[in-house]
Amino acid sequence: MLTVMGGNDMPGHTHHQDDRLRRLRKVEGQVRGLQRMVDEDRYCIDILTQVSAVTRALQAFSLDLLDEHMRTCVAEAVAKGGDEADGKLREAHDAITRLVRS
Amino acid sequence: MLTVMGGNDMPGHTHHQDDRLRRLRKVEGQVRGLQRMVDEDRYCIDILTQVSAVTRALQAFSLDLLDEHMRTCVAEAVAKGGDEADGKLREAHDAITRLVRS
Amino acid sequence: MLTVMGGNDMPGHTHHQDDRLRRLRKVEGQVRGLQRMVDEDRYCIDILTQVSAVTRALQAFSLDLLDEHMRTCVAEAVAKGGDEADGKLREAHDAITRLVRS
Amino acid sequence: MLTVMGGNDMPGHTHHQDDRLRRLRKVEGQVRGLQRMVDEDRYCIDILTQVSAVTRALQAFSLDLLDEHMRTCVAEAVAKGGDEADGKLREAHDAITRLVRS
């Protein structure tokens, strides 16, 4: 059930933060792995396959972060209504557009 | 300024509907144009360029429709809070995920 | 086994053409279906789901057309080498870039 | 002008390799920057904007690597024709499909 609360007040916030850091460290490791593959002059198709895996991991990271943002900051602003809601919804729309087009 | 109201009560609703129908009829015309290009055995690269134009038009259509959905149905549910808000936000998240991955 | 031949000499060319026309007519029908959904003021999420289906169908169409182009026009040019190969490979690269970014 | 040669024989190969390593190290730095943003609990939209920048950099990296692969390994196989060409073109098609869908 959604009870609208501010971003940092969310009880699960630290849990989410830890999970995000863990996922980004994994991506960092994958990118260093790509560097080794290039250094070892590995076959291009294998490198391309690994890059697609990194891109998909970043995409999933963004979708989850966007979802939490909608459930906290945007929901809080919408509950208040007015210009704040308008601004938050426009920001979310622009972020979704960047995500779709990257 | 965002005043939360139901989807169909929006004064601009008919205007948005007309605009959407106009955009979809244009896409329909572009797809028929693609059929002619295939029929006339036009150069593949030219056909691919035209398909990319159609895909971008559909993407823009989806982004605008999603934005209006967020400002009406989702905002209305979030203002009420509870399970309804939860459901609408999950639905929006799934729609954004499909949009990103298509 | 790949025997390099010009685009239109390919025995399967008419078959491919028929298949492409069939797929594009299906897309045209789906787009008209979208128009009905908008006209009937159907729920936004259902319309978005249908648009994603159309975009995926166009994407698959483009990937197949690109593959055949690589196996005919580009392969023929590469077999000859020189500037013609260079031009065809650059064209294919640009088409792939558009496809990735649309 | 395209003179077909094997992947590692390409005179520019080391140059390309250095450029690739440089780009991947930059991405690694950007991902560490994302970790700091999460750690500092920076605003979600700013983090999402930075993730889109990393995804676009990886996409450009892949498109360039694919282009060089087409101009070397695939072109060399196509010049020979037969099953080798067939296999290389199918591999390239699968890599392009992954790139489009990630």
Dist. CA B63–CA B59, nearest whole Å? 6
To the nearest whole angstrom, how far is the Cα of B64 from the nearest Cα of chain C?
10
> Considering the domain boundaries, does residue B6 fall inside one?
no
Q: Would you call D66 and C4 a contact, using CB atoms and an 8 Å cutoff?
A: no
- Other C-beta atoms within 10 Å of A35: how many? 17
Judged against a pLDDT cut of 80, whether residue C44 lies above it is answered with yes
SS3 category, B12 = coil
The whole-number pLDDT of residue D94 equals 96
Could you give the ipTM of this predicted complex? Answer: 0.87
The residue count of chain C comes to 102
Residue entry with tokens 């955009």 = B23
User: Which residues 6+ apart lie within 8 Å of A75 measured at CB?
Assistant: A2, A4, B78, B85, B89
Go through B30-64 and write b for each residue having 16 or more CB atoms within 10 A of its CB, e for each that does not.
bbeebbebbeeeeebbebbbbbbebbebbbebbbb
- The gap between the terminal CA atoms of chain A, to the nearest Å, is 32
> Considering the domain boundaries, does residue B1 fall inside one?
no
Lowest model confidence (mean pLDDT) among A19-28, B93-102, C6-15, D7-16: C6-15
Judged against a pLDDT cut of 80, whether residue C49 lies above it is answered with yes
What average pLDDT does range A42-51 have in this prediction?
Answer: 97
> Considering the domain boundaries, does residue A78 fall inside one?
yes
> Considering the domain boundaries, does residue B8 fall inside one?
no
> Considering the domain boundaries, does residue D39 fall inside one?
yes
Q: Would you call A48 and D99 a contact, using CB atoms and an 8 Å cutoff?
A: yes
> Considering the domain boundaries, does residue C8 fall inside one?
no
- What pLDDT, in 10s, does the model give residues B61-87? 999 999 999 999 999 999 998 999 999
SS3 category, C2 = strand
Question: Which chain D positions have a beta carbon within 8 Å of C2's beta carbon?
Answer: 78, 81-83, 85-86, 89
User: Which residues 6+ apart lie within 8 Å of D51 measured at CB?
Assistant: A58, A61, A62, A65, D34
Quote the mean pLDDT of chain A: 89
Dist. CA B91–CA D40, nearest whole Å? 30
> Considering the domain boundaries, does residue C5 fall inside one?
no
> Considering the domain boundaries, does residue D42 fall inside one?
yes
Q: Would you call D39 and A21 a contact, using CB atoms and an 8 Å cutoff?
A: yes
Judged against a pLDDT cut of 80, whether residue A17 lies above it is answered with yes
The whole-number pLDDT of residue A13 equals 59
- What pLDDT, in 10s, does the model give residues C25-43? 999 999 999 999 999 999 9
| Cβ proximity of B15 and C64 under 8 Å | no
Give the best residue of B70, B89, B99, B102 to mutate against chain A (max A CB count within 10 A). Answer: B70
Judged against a pLDDT cut of 70, whether residue D88 lies above it is answered with yes
Q: Would you call B27 and C25 a contact, using CB atoms and an 8 Å cutoff?
A: no
- What pLDDT, in 10s, does the model give residues D41-84? 999 999 999 999 999 999 999 999 999 999 999 999 999 989 99
Dist. CA D66–CA C93, nearest whole Å? 8
Give the pLDDT band (50/70/90) at residue D4: low
To the nearest whole angstrom, how far is the Cα of B99 from the nearest Cα of chain C?
6
Q: Would you call D31 an interface residue with chain C, using a CB distance cutoff of 8 Å?
A: no
What average pLDDT does range C74-84 have in this prediction?
Answer: 92
- How many separate domains does chain A show? 1
Q: What percent of chain C has pLDDT over 90?
A: 79
CA-CA distances (angstroms) from residue B37 to A34, B33, C8, C28, D34? 41, 6, 14, 14, 46
Judged against a pLDDT cut of 70, whether residue A3 lies above it is answered with no
Put simply, the chain B residues between 53 and 72 with a CB less than 8 A from any chain A CB are 59, 63, 66-67, 70-71
The DSSP code sequence of B27-81 is HHHHHHHHHHHHHTT--HHHHHHHHHHHHHHHHHHHHHHHHHHIIIIIHHHHHH-
Of D32, D52, D95, the CB nearest to A99: D52
The closest of A28, A36, A45 to D20, measured between CA atoms, is: A36
Judged against a pLDDT cut of 90, whether residue A8 lies above it is answered with no
CATH of the domain at B21: 1.20.58.1000
Q: Which domain holds residue B66?
A: 14-101
Dist. CA C66–CA C99, nearest whole Å? 10
Q: Would you call D62 and A39 a contact, using CB atoms and an 8 Å cutoff?
A: no
Dist. CA C23–CA C18, nearest whole Å? 9
Judged against a pLDDT cut of 50, whether residue B6 lies above it is answered with no
